[in-house]
Structure 1
Amino acid sequence: MPGGVCKPDQWFMMDQIADEHGNGTFKITTRQTFQFHGVIKRHLKSAIQDINRALLDTLAACGDVNRNVIVSAIPSLSKLHAQVYEFAKRVSERLLPRTTAYHEIWLDKKLVAGDALKDVEPLYGEFYLPRKFKVAVAVPPTNDVDIFANDVGFIAIVDEKGELAGFNVTAGGGMGVTHGNKKTYPRLGDVLGFCTVEQGCEVAEKIMLVQRDNGNREDRKNARLKYTIDRMGLDVFKGEVEKLLGYQLQPARPFAFDRNIDDFGWHTDASGKHHFTCFIENGRIQDEPDRDFKAGLREIAKVHKGTFRLTANQHLVVTDVATEDLPQIKDLLAQYKLDNLSQSALRLSSSACVAFPTCGLAMAESERYLPILIDKVEKICEENGLRNDSIVMRMTGCPNGCARPYVAETVTEPEILAILKPMIKRYALERHEGEHFGDFVIRAGYIAATTSGKAWYDKMGGEIANARLKYTIDRMGLDVFKGEVEKLLGYQLQPARPFTFDRNIDDFGWHTDASGKHHFTCFIENGLSFDPRFPAPHTLLPITGMPTSL
């Protein structure tokens, strides 16, 4: 589903599949696709067959292949969207696996529509890619797809007539990280150069082929294109791509992004068609008290004559509404409260992956907890007059980064609310005109700027996190540090005297000291007491100083 564009009848089918085969809800993902939950094994094949009957598919939804090509939603620039959308479809088709296995397993060797089966993989070969591969298309000044977080990016360049002239090409972005493994890191893509629209598909293919032939096939955690580029060097990698192309990419052309969030509300394009961007919190399509979004969108799908666009920030655009159909669509949006955009800018800018309880990779909560956390951070923002100022907050349940948290401005846990409160207050008082929160916290020294993926671990947590005494001693040198201490003391410390340790555990049980007092050290597993007499867990200390009579 390139660009997240689907027809009303396809939306209606997805709604029905969620009810018949899943848990009654479905989710808009950050790859502009649908995600179903609660599909039990005996429903899996029939669910996939129903998706294909809607002329959508699950081919290349996972695995070491090119994934769904995502595209900026840009509701106000519908003509340009149509051009980049058509380009994205061509790229998707060019990089699609040709294997017959998908149809053999799920569709009983039958294609619902299209060409006859072809049992050949001209691009992927016998062993496919070393790792997954992601492509995005962005239209400045909106970077709602986070173009630099993708393996390959195409930044649309418009000519003086407002027509699509071509693309600046980026390569080497990726979010995934493995805890404790410093060979892994998030990385932003590099700009390689400019290509025409006609050259774009070939450029995407050749970049993928260089990754196919040079990616790390021994260590999957170090197999993405970003690591290949860092290992080969950008110039060498670019040279290999251009060698396969048979020509050099042109120099990159000027461009500028000013946001990576969605443009909510109504927009009218140059052709007179109307588009409405709905806020769908974390992409979850469901009915809940006071928010029957699933039912509302189903009713809209029954009468809508345009299309739906899923955004890479997990929201939904009802597109191509004719003027004569506006009253009906507006009434339905209002009836089901889908037109409610009174949320804070913080909430409108938030995003979360599904995490618990449905993702097998999850280590923590994400989608279910983020709204609760935003409730808390919203209060801090409102106290400082920032209700309508966007701060991009994203949360994921594991370091793979499906919600693209490493290019957000805050990735938070409840423990750091105390840190956020003074930080947000300073931002409200000291920010420069037009300065985003993420830029401010770097300028203010809360975090260190990351200039490349490999430098991600340097000064982890910012300059402030490197302010502990241990870093001061390492920076000054032990002798210089000791000298400064003795200068303040006015005398020198004596030489250290001999000592030895033989354990770092507690001495349990009873002990009697020289004064005749008795002391008992209890074992409290992990320091927690769950005795119902206490209102909360307590850390227990040794009971000391008891007289003999006790």
Structure 2
Amino acid sequence: MGSSVGAANGIILRDTKLRIQRFHHQCVFTTSSRVLILKRALSSNSSSSLVVTAVSTPVKPSPPSQTKRSKVELIKEQSNFLRYPLNEELLTETPNINEAATQVIKFHGSYQQTNRDDRSTKAYSFMLRTKNPGGDVPNKLYLVMDDLADEFGIGTLRLTTRQTFQLHGVVKKDLKIVMSTIIKSMASTLGACGDLNRNVLAPAAPFIRKDYEFARETADNIAALLTPQSGFYYDLWVDGEQVMSAEPPEVVRARNDNSHGTNFSDSPEPIYGTQFLPRKFKIAVAVPGDNSVDILTNDIGVVVVSDADGEPQGFNIYVGGGMGRTHRIETTFPRLGEPLGYVPKEDILYVVKAIVVTQRENGRRDDRRYSRMKYLLDSWGIEKFRTVVEQYYGKKFKPFKELPEWEFKSYLGWHDQGNGLLFCGIHVDNGRVAGKMKTSLRDIIEKYNLNVRLTPNQNLILCDVRRAWRRPITTTLAQAGLLHPRYVDPLNLTAMACPALPLCPLAQTEAERGAPGLIKKVRAVFDKVGLKYNESLVIRVTGCPNGCARPYMAELGLVGDGPNSYQIWLGGTPNQTSLAKTFMSKVKVPDLEKVLEPLFYNWKHKRQQKESFGDFTNRIGFEKLQELVENWDGVIRSPTRYNLKLFADKETFEAMDELARLEDKNAHQLAMEVIRNYVAAQQNGKRK
């Protein structure tokens, strides 16, 4: 917390005259206690340069609920700024690290995992996640990550919903060489996981336009401002060598400014202190009208506001978004960000810092389920939250500026950058780059020396393409199965899934591996009820309720709630501005069609003009939708030129449906196959 002092973090109190020192939540320490602190500090592996004094952030009485702290808070306190015990565990011969080190390594950008497909043994490995503000991936870094995936990973790269790479399957003995290679390629995994600011999102489209360029620059500066400063990352992975580029002076000024009590004085972590944040923290920067970053799902949403000439003037600020929740605990929930106010552009770093410090000082540290900033907003309300942030900011917020309607933009296909060059957005199913796709992408990126940007929708953009290169690049992509978006199933274009099984320890069922089959089921139901091929909806699949693929913003969200089972969430909208709600729980995969058929059938026949599926479900209401599902008899009553009325009675349908399940089909599909085979046989007989 604001003036906390960690007993095992190498902190020595200078003022030995004080008999009482606040230690987190008003704990009392005598001289003997301070001697104990001194002994622990001297016995640690930290150098004298890392010894710090008590902080100067204003002392605030801690509420009674804060007297208890979670186990992770204690691990952070005892870690010597996230070094211990990871530094010791990395030297052991075991393939895994202990529980405390598992928590610490998250801040370094890695999760320990096991292969849950292999039940015979615990096959430990590590997932590494990069930090790429705005999804920016220079040419050299892409090639390095491609090489590392083959040499030390499982041969694939994963593009995440936060514009980063995930590298799976790195074993413990290879961690240091992989980490050091990434660092020496002028990249980082620092803060990609853990209780601090995560990767900062920004529109991936490389438009040469003032607002887009300013959004990318702002994302870079915010990421730099909130990067840990104590050196623990470089100590462990490159033996203390600081491989960093120079920071803009405005970032340094904002970080060091303590005029409103935001900083820990004389601490190697002026913003984070010894305890860092209560939980992960997510920030996105957007351009008005372009909601490619799911702006309302972030702890802080920053929107560039420009004047009539297109010159950026300031920012609208949203706060309090977040996706994670826990099944069957209704006090946990997804939440949309809400308007906080407007600030001039020169103040953005100070405002972001003030919001982060408000969460640092007041977010819950006793129960991690409630530690995200969205719960602080829900508890306080926006007015109280704004008042506290203004104290750390030192100014009043101005009224929120009017914004145009948000629209989701995928930037797939070919586009003009605005400087005579082109960019090409490439759809990657669930973000998994593998096989011939991986080889072809590398060949293109290496041959043409292209830079890359990763999108928040798990796709990839090739940047700075000369017009003469468009045809050969298009041919190479097509040969690898990377088609122009008009040749991709529209249901796939906006779908997302998290990795889930087999490596994620939280997964309750499939997501990435299950998504293709689930989308095929949706397509089959579309065909059955007569929806046109070019119609679509936003589908997102996760293996657990944590919401990594943002399913709570989907028109159809499938959230794993058991083996081969999903919650169904409905009510998100195509532009990602409405929160979905739980429609049904514990729906087994073979039963999905029974739920989806009446929903899609009634959407087709009862929707208003151009009404999206999400808007339709919100207008009709869940009670009426539930009735439609319960009373559905499986009979399509309005045949189209592409769909025949195949079943005259319910008994025939049910018998055909039971038979179809043996072949992983639905009754309509099986009946159509029988009819086609019969017609083909009759035609062949006539020819003979």
TM-score by length of 2: 0.63
Q: Is 1:22–2:170 an aligned residue pair?
A: no
Q: Is 1:387–2:533 an aligned residue pair?
A: yes
Residue from 609, 614, 620 that aligns with 1:433: 609
Match of 2:193 in 1: 62
Asked if the contact 1:100–1:119 (Cα under 8 Å) also holds between the matched residues in 2, the reply is no
Amino acid at match of 2:269: E
Q: How far apart are residue 4 of structure 1 and its match?
A: 0.6
CA distance in 2, matches of 1:168, 1:386: 39
Asked if the contact 2:267–2:273 (Cα under 8 Å) also holds between the matched residues in 1, the reply is no
Q: Which has the higher contact order (CA 8 A, sep 6+)?
A: 1
CA distance in 2, matches of 1:280, 1:263: 13
**May I ask how many residue pairs the two structures share in their alignment?**
451
Q: How far apart are residue 463 of structure 1 and its match?
A: 5.7
Residue from 287, 301, 322 that aligns with 1:174: 322
Question: 1:203 aligns to what SS in structure 2?
Answer: helix
Amino acid at match of 1:416: L
Amino acid at match of 1:153: G
Q: Which moved more, 1:322-331 or 1:123-132?
A: 322-331
CA distance in 2, matches of 1:246, 1:119: 22
Where do 1:327-406 residues align within 5 Å?
Answer: 327-341=471-485, 342-383=487-528, 384-406=530-552
CA distance in 1, matches of 2:478, 2:312: 36
Match of 2:108 in 1: none
Q: For the structure 1 residues 233 and 143, does the alpha-carbon distance in structure 2 shift closer, same or farther, using more than 3 Å as the test?
A: same
Question: 1:188 aligns to what SS in structure 2?
Answer: coil
Residue from 384, 403, 420 that aligns with 1:272: 420
Q: Is 1:81–2:227 an aligned residue pair?
A: no
Q: For the structure 1 residues 386 and 208, does the alpha-carbon distance in structure 2 shift closer, same or farther, using more than 3 Å as the test?
A: farther
Asked if the contact 1:143–1:260 (Cα under 8 Å) also holds between the matched residues in 2, the reply is yes
CA distance in 2, matches of 1:77, 1:364: 42
Q: For the structure 1 residues 269 and 103, does the alpha-carbon distance in structure 2 shift closer, same or farther, using more than 3 Å as the test?
A: closer
Q: How far apart are residue 328 of structure 1 and its match?
A: 3.9
CA distance in 2, matches of 1:282, 1:78: 29
Q: How far apart are residue 258 of structure 1 and its match?
A: 4.2
Question: 2:166 aligns to what SS in structure 1?
Answer: strand
Cα shift readout 1:306-360 (whole Å, capped 9, x = no counterpart) = 4211000100111221224334433432332323421221111100000000111
Q: Is 1:129–2:277 an aligned residue pair?
A: yes
Q: Which moved more, 1:1-10 or 1:254-263?
A: 254-263
Q: For the structure 1 residues 329 and 79, does the alpha-carbon distance in structure 2 shift closer, same or farther, using more than 3 Å as the test?
A: farther
Question: 2:279 aligns to what SS in structure 1?
Answer: coil
Amino acid at match of 1:48: M
CA distance in 2, matches of 1:265, 1:467: 39
Asked if the contact 2:599–2:628 (Cα under 8 Å) also holds between the matched residues in 1, the reply is no
CA distance in 2, matches of 1:362, 1:54: 32
Match of 2:464 in 1: 320
Where do 1:31-430 residues align within 5 Å?
Answer: 31-74=162-205, 79-114=210-245, 120-287=268-435, 292-341=436-485, 342-383=487-528, 384-412=530-558, 413=566, 414=589, 415-430=591-606
Question: 1:240 aligns to what SS in structure 2?
Answer: helix
Question: 1:440 aligns to what SS in structure 2?
Answer: helix
Runs of 4+ more than 6 Å apart:
466-469
Amino acid at match of 2:480: Y
Cα shift readout 1:211-261 (whole Å, capped 9, x = no counterpart) = 000111111110110001111221000111112111112111122344335
Cα shift readout 1:66-120 (whole Å, capped 9, x = no counterpart) = 000011224566553222111100010011111211111122111223469x970
Q: Which moved more, 1:21-30 or 1:265-274?
A: 265-274
Q: For the structure 1 residues 209 and 370, does the alpha-carbon distance in structure 2 shift closer, same or farther, using more than 3 Å as the test?
A: same
Amino acid at match of 1:425: Y
Asked if the contact 1:304–1:329 (Cα under 8 Å) also holds between the matched residues in 2, the reply is no
Asked if the contact 1:391–1:436 (Cα under 8 Å) also holds between the matched residues in 2, the reply is yes
Amino acid at match of 1:4: G
Asked if the contact 2:607–2:616 (Cα under 8 Å) also holds between the matched residues in 1, the reply is yes
Amino acid at match of 1:361: L
Q: For the structure 1 residues 154 and 435, does the alpha-carbon distance in structure 2 shift closer, same or farther, using more than 3 Å as the test?
A: farther
Q: How far apart are residue 192 of structure 1 and its match?
A: 0.7
Q: How far apart are residue 399 of structure 1 and its match?
A: 0.6
Asked if the contact 1:305–1:321 (Cα under 8 Å) also holds between the matched residues in 2, the reply is no
Asked if the contact 1:8–1:307 (Cα under 8 Å) also holds between the matched residues in 2, the reply is yes
Over alpha carbons, which structure has the higher Rg?
A: 1
Cα shift readout 1:36-87 (whole Å, capped 9, x = no counterpart) = 1111111112111111122111100111100000112245665532221111
Cα shift readout 1:270-315 (whole Å, capped 9, x = no counterpart) = 322211110100000101xxxx110011011112344211000100
Asked if the contact 2:323–2:546 (Cα under 8 Å) also holds between the matched residues in 1, the reply is yes
CA distance in 2, matches of 1:257, 1:309: 25
Asked if the contact 1:98–1:121 (Cα under 8 Å) also holds between the matched residues in 2, the reply is yes
Identical positions, percent:
39
Asked if the contact 2:455–2:461 (Cα under 8 Å) also holds between the matched residues in 1, the reply is yes
Q: For the structure 1 residues 77 and 387, does the alpha-carbon distance in structure 2 shift closer, same or farther, using more than 3 Å as the test?
A: farther
Q: For the structure 1 residues 196 and 430, does the alpha-carbon distance in structure 2 shift closer, same or farther, using more than 3 Å as the test?
A: farther
Match of 2:61 in 1: none
CA distance in 2, matches of 1:163, 1:433: 37
Q: How far apart are residue 467 of structure 1 and its match?
A: 11
CA distance in 2, matches of 1:199, 1:429: 51
CA distance in 2, matches of 1:258, 1:435: 16
Amino acid at match of 1:424: F
Q: For the structure 1 residues 373 and 4, does the alpha-carbon distance in structure 2 shift closer, same or farther, using more than 3 Å as the test?
A: same
Structure 1 spans left out of the alignment, 5+ residues: 448-461, 470-534, 537-550
Amino acid at match of 1:294: K
